[in-house]
Chain A
Amino acid sequence: MSAILTVSHLTMRFGGLVAVNNLSFAAQRGEITALIGPNGAGKTTVFNCVTGFYKPTSGMLELDGRDGATHLLERLPDFRIAREARVARTFQNIRLFPGMSLLENLMVAQHNPLMRASGFTVFGLLGLPWYRVAERDAIDRARYWLDRINLIDRADDPAGELPYGAQRRLEIARAMCTEPDLLCLDEPAAGLNARESAELDELLLFIRNEHKTSILLIEHDMSVVMKICDHIVVLDYGVKIAEGPPDHIRNDAKVIAAYLGVETDEVDAVEAEAGR
């Protein structure tokens, strides 16, 4: 087993606020790694650093691609992280293309291969068969994922009309259409009902097992985390306070303290221990 993502000494400052403080962890290939922690712990900030939306104040982010190449993510602009390092992500506040149909959303995700197939538009404009074959393949891939997330019947509806849970699933499908090595999901279960949440677990396990895509997951819903994750990293105030398999985290005193909120002096003691 090898690490797909290695985060070393990542620090992100916003002015005086240290959102992420000297964080190190690794996400293993073929596993689901969860990043958990109370509100404002800095989880989304870590994601934004990994996917290039923020430039870290310091630290190193290494991604080992499937072809054996190592990508230093802190040096790449966001779109190249998606295109070359093959890291796809979803957003905490869903970011679909609401005025485009579900199918179009999934087609946009396949922009780069399609762009190449269309000879950077020249062949496509001339309507050469080469491009048409590539487009049919892209539609097939979109159809496959729409089928997978049970939204095939709504393929031609605008994404903005979908109910919330379906939008979350579509965003995951769209990220998968980029054929990523690492899929980063920011609170995919937020706002889902129990049935939808169970479907989501199944989908994520399917992605891990069948598509061999590693997943980095931010989640508040502990039932999801405990059920499907292989490895958990716990953040509090930007600092890693615990790391390990679910069984270990479940019983960790510091994690319980951070989540449940204990007496102030106890928290202080815990945080002193955590190195703040």
Chain B
Amino acid sequence: MTDAATPSPPRFAFGAALKSAALSAVVALGLFGLMVGIRTETGPTGSLIYWTRFGDVALLVAAVFLGRFLRVLAFGDGPIRLQRLVPARWQEASAGGERFARLMPGRNLGGIFSIALLGFALVAPILFFNNRYALDLGILVLTYVMLGWGLNIVVGLAGLLDLGYVAFYAVGAYSYALLAQNFDLSFWVCLPLAGILAAFWGLILGFPVLRLRGDYLAIVTLAFGEIIRIVLLNWQNVTGGPNGISSIPRPSFFGIPFNNDDDGFAAVFGLDYSATHRIVFLFYLILMLALLTNWVTLRLRRLPIGRAWEALREDEIACRSLGINTTNTKLTAFAIGAMFGGFAGAFFATRQGFISPESFSFVESALILAIVVLGGMGSQLGVAIAAIVTIGGFELFREFAAYRMLVFGGAMVLIMVWRPRGLIGTRTPSVFLKQRKAIAGALVGEGRG
């Protein structure tokens, strides 16, 4: 509040910066000295061999020293206010955007952008018909968009921190694989079944867990995700254990298979056979599933159940004082979120043709959660953009292999410092009398479980 009155950050003296940097360097030396400095490995005869890498330690310590020195010199010791880093001209530009948005009643910038994004998604398979890589990437991104939207119901709307979302993705994938293989059911029959089974598991998990709050809930959901994965890994005769399930039936175009036969898709529609037809179909399939998730979420938000979810995130005790059964409300959020995870899982299984527990590790849960948090909890457009940026970014940095996670983590930290509420931190009311006004993120609760 008061710092608005002080135009420039307090400049720290050279000496203070030097001292602070030296202190950080000592800490870095202590940390890296053993972690990086001495490398141990099992030798060929089983004995422990080690060698030293003091050069690397020196580099790291120097980097910490320099980084800390420059930071204190430039911004002082306190937290960095990123508004100050953004040139005034940019700030004006973004304010101008808001003004522009206000000039166009009914259709804000977000709305225009959403439509443009949707239009692009619709024509993408035509534009990139000859680019198999781009199509595959598109399918991957859309899968994460869908997962993000599904988790957004639980985390963004109801404010329940779920670290085990991938469990429902796994339930959906294995449901589809097992049903399709053992009972010879078609994709369109298995899809709802996979969703229902995932929702069912959402309820099973929800019952004991939802009386926990905050960190406790997060830890138990995390454990649940791991339990599902370990069961899949060990229940050899059903799930195939670590070998997974292979030759899962591929999707057909409502009964018409995508192959080179006389009754195949290409022949029936009088096209030249191309393997890409199936990819394009998969692309539209996941696009449709994602849009279904989005439509249902937007619709639910305007219904009493969705409002109760958001109210729950804001203040659970107040909800109870208004006669809302909070346990049931949380359970529905969990089950519906899980259902969409299950749909996505079924899609994943049919696309890959092969699934194994490896695909459903905690990292997946973390990635989906990162997408939701980055996008701005509760914002559909934000989650979509975050999925594109995150998954696209992952692909972009593929060459860097080991450093990819480092870059990802760094980017995440930066974005969270810059926009603590995610890319789109504002909330749009679900109902209005005169005018739909966006609500600043700072007012919106994050939920405590």
Q: Interface segment, B188-196, B228-236, B314-322?
A: B314-322
Are the C-beta atoms of B323 and A124 separated by less than 8 Å?
Answer: no
Q: Interface segment, B68-76, B88-96, B257-265, B297-305?
A: B297-305
Interface residues of A in 133-181 (CB under 8 A from B): 135, 139, 143, 152, 155-158, 160-161, 174-175, 178
Are the C-beta atoms of A108 and B436 separated by less than 8 Å?
Answer: no
Q: Interface segment, B59-67, B147-155, B439-447?
A: B439-447
Query: How many angstroms between the C-alpha atoms of A158 and B441 in the bound complex?
Result: 11
A121 at interface, CB cutoff 8 A: yes
Are the C-beta atoms of B439 and A99 separated by less than 8 Å?
Answer: yes
Are the C-beta atoms of B437 and A101 separated by less than 8 Å?
Answer: yes
Cβ 8 A contact of B322, one of A101, A109, A143: A109
Q: Please, which residue of chain A has its CB at the minimum distance from the CB of B325?
A: A79
Q: Interface segment, B122-130, B198-206, B389-397, B426-434?
A: B426-434
Whole-angstrom distance from the CB of A177 to the nearest CB of chain B? 8
Cβ 8 A contact of A156, one of B304, B314, B317, B437: B437
Q: Please, which residue of chain A has its CB at the minimum distance from the CB of B296?
A: A125
Q: Please, which residue of chain B has its CB at the minimum distance from the CB of A109?
A: B322
Q: Decide: A174 near B437, CB < 8 A? Known: A104-B307, A125-B303.
A: no
Q: Please, which residue of chain B has its CB at the minimum distance from the CB of A52?
A: B320
Are the C-beta atoms of A160 and B443 separated by less than 8 Å?
Answer: yes
Query: How many angstroms between the C-alpha atoms of A79 and B307 in the bound complex?
Result: 17
Are the C-beta atoms of A139 and B321 separated by less than 8 Å?
Answer: no
Are the C-beta atoms of B432 and A156 separated by less than 8 Å?
Answer: yes
Is the interface on chain A under 10, 10 to 19, 20 to 34, or 35 or more residues? Answer: 35 or more
Q: Decide: A111 near B315, CB < 8 A? Known: A101-B429, A103-B431.
A: no
B181 at interface, CB cutoff 8 A: no
Question: Which B residues are in CB contact (< 8 Å) with A115?
Answer: 304-305, 308
A107 at interface, CB cutoff 8 A: yes
Are the C-beta atoms of A156 and B430 separated by less than 8 Å?
Answer: no
Query: How many angstroms between the C-alpha atoms of A12 and B308 in the bound complex?
Result: 31
Are the C-beta atoms of B314 and A88 separated by less than 8 Å?
Answer: no
Are the C-beta atoms of A125 and B320 separated by less than 8 Å?
Answer: no
Are the C-beta atoms of A125 and B431 separated by less than 8 Å?
Answer: no
Query: How many angstroms between the C-alpha atoms of A96 and B325 in the bound complex?
Result: 17
Query: How many angstroms between the C-alpha atoms of A131 and B311 in the bound complex?
Result: 20
Query: How many angstroms between the C-alpha atoms of A157 and B443 in the bound complex?
Result: 11
Q: Decide: A118 near B303, CB < 8 A? Known: A111-B324, A156-B429.
A: yes
Are the C-beta atoms of B315 and A103 separated by less than 8 Å?
Answer: no
Are the C-beta atoms of B323 and A178 separated by less than 8 Å?
Answer: yes
Query: How many angstroms between the C-alpha atoms of A152 and B443 in the bound complex?
Result: 20
Question: Which B residues are in CB contact (< 8 Å) with A125?
Answer: 296, 299-300, 303
Are the C-beta atoms of A79 and B300 separated by less than 8 Å?
Answer: no
Are the C-beta atoms of A79 and B430 separated by less than 8 Å?
Answer: no
Q: Please, which residue of chain A has its CB at the minimum distance from the CB of B329?
A: A111
B310 at interface, CB cutoff 8 A: yes
B326 at interface, CB cutoff 8 A: yes
Cβ 8 A contact of A99, one of B296, B299, B433, B445: B445
Are the C-beta atoms of A79 and B439 separated by less than 8 Å?
Answer: no
Whole-angstrom distance from the CB of B197 to the nearest CB of chain A? 20
Whole-angstrom distance from the CB of B425 to the nearest CB of chain A? 11
Query: How many angstroms between the C-alpha atoms of A156 and B439 in the bound complex?
Result: 9
Are the C-beta atoms of A98 and B437 separated by less than 8 Å?
Answer: no
Are the C-beta atoms of B443 and A98 separated by less than 8 Å?
Answer: yes
Are the C-beta atoms of A108 and B311 separated by less than 8 Å?
Answer: yes
Cβ 8 A contact of B429, one of A104, A110, A114, A160: A104
Question: Which A residues are in CB contact (< 8 Å) with B310?
Answer: 97, 99-100, 104
Are the C-beta atoms of B308 and A111 separated by less than 8 Å?
Answer: yes
Question: Which A residues are in CB contact (< 8 Å) with B332?
Answer: 121
Are the C-beta atoms of A107 and B427 separated by less than 8 Å?
Answer: no
Are the C-beta atoms of A83 and B444 separated by less than 8 Å?
Answer: no
Whole-angstrom distance from the CB of B308 to the nearest CB of chain A? 5
B47 at interface, CB cutoff 8 A: no
Are the C-beta atoms of A99 and B319 separated by less than 8 Å?
Answer: no
Query: How many angstroms between the C-alpha atoms of A124 and B435 in the bound complex?
Result: 23
Please list 5 pairs of residues, one from A and one from B, whose beta carbons are closer than 8 Å in the complex, sorted by A's number: A83-B325, A99-B445, A108-B308, A118-B303, A160-B443
Q: Which 5 A-B pairs have the closest CB atoms?
A: A99-B444, A83-B323, A82-B323, A97-B314, A160-B443
